A and B are shown apart, each in its own frame.
Chain A
């Protein structure tokens, strides 16, 4: 399986005097089980790119496809019980709306038609894959957890949809040094288990250390390589912005 972006373009305020082109004829290919980091400065369009990859924004030109195609539930009640691509937002609180962790993590799969025992199993295994103590945490309010736990619950609620591709927008913002490296090691293990991990970040050293490949986002396009060093990325940022 691979996620392919072919000459994708996206502008905000399209057709208005305030139009701002964020992505310009951008192409990228992510294969199953790869850990790819998209490194860009603040304002470079990382979040927009993540939203486009996740299908939350439609590209205005070009296309985003998952190949070979897998039946995607069209009405939220499909038969597969899985989603191809899921995105975890930069601020975990912005995606929480249930009163406890169990309901939060169960929300996605329950929309996909998963019920009863199977639903519980999914929720508990998603929490446990992230190293969370499911029994301790599942009845707590997600917004009352520590920063690191919130981040993990947000990821668990994405994983419970059993995605092929998991996109994370700045997953280490507001995490301390230990929580950051712990989370990245966990994402590395997820990728090794077959889930493709795509991290949008400006933490260059982390990206270099944990990813299989790096893509530098600047001026709306990507330059990608599997052998970029941190110096290469900073050089690119300074040259192109």
Chain B
């Protein structure tokens, strides 16, 4: 009994988030028609979990019979997921009310999705990794189909679910093969057996299948097909959650498995990862140019960013680890911000989603336009915003990891990406638009977006906060 108590206290963020979810279930079951309470509770719970995670970051350890790790890496990502989750819930409040799907279940499912993400980052066993991926995915499938009277939302949910289930199958099969080769699902055991087993063909096949499964979740080429349709069809704030926290969670799975367990050498799969990364950067950025729908454009941009981050994973060194962690934090805030602005401009009937609708935004809503400009500059990687350092670190890691070609691809595709990001800025400031932009955004939404913008700026000026945390990950 007592050992479990210490375990529970050690993984405080996870427990607080889970309890928040359960409390929300009870609140929803016993009260009718006031989802606002649930949303407020969810935000409070997630922020508390984030705080706990930050406090517990210095204490490293494992818990629950070696099933999870605590502190360090797990806490860092737990804090990120909690904050990102809280921000999307805050953003959703007025957006969902506007489109008529302001329901308590949204908060519940987001909180449970965050639990799943935390489990992925904290996993110290393949079983936990799998369960975390499943918990996160199941919640996201439903959230994508939340607006179930909309055809596109249904399409998004179904597509995401069918392809996601398939990807989960790959992941599970890979896990089974790794277990078959090693005889254990525990990361420490796999890590210890790694030198002897790393060339075993069954192990390699397993690791390869895990790469497929996780690549789907981060929407890297060639497993990216779902992303544009799902991001377009899902409610905009759900797309924000999927493209930031969920992607970060899948990347934390990559890091925990390939960097920690496989000792940076990536099980000989570095080249594969590098090719996937290059393909994602090229395809994402090139296709994004051709998009006219802003959600689809952000989806392709998200594929490209997955490519940048995978370059950091493929580099397989300490800078790569730190760079990916930094990139994930920065990307989370800038993309949540970008999707938040999209959700403000979008009207109640899935209109005002084309790029042209942003023409002249600066005259109608100067603050919103300015914030969007910040996020676009950050996504393009323009200093002094956070995006710049993210790219800097992962490209540096690629060069250090003897993958200079990957860094060159990255820089070139970044230049391409500047075109479509800055086009939005140009449209907002230098074109006149007739479109009347949707209603005045709520205070809660504005506060959240401003906060996101400030964080993007802050991280761009003082990246050392994250860098220092990253040095004490494992």
| B is bound to A | no
A residues neighboring B (CB under 8 Å): none
B residues neighboring A (CB under 8 Å): none
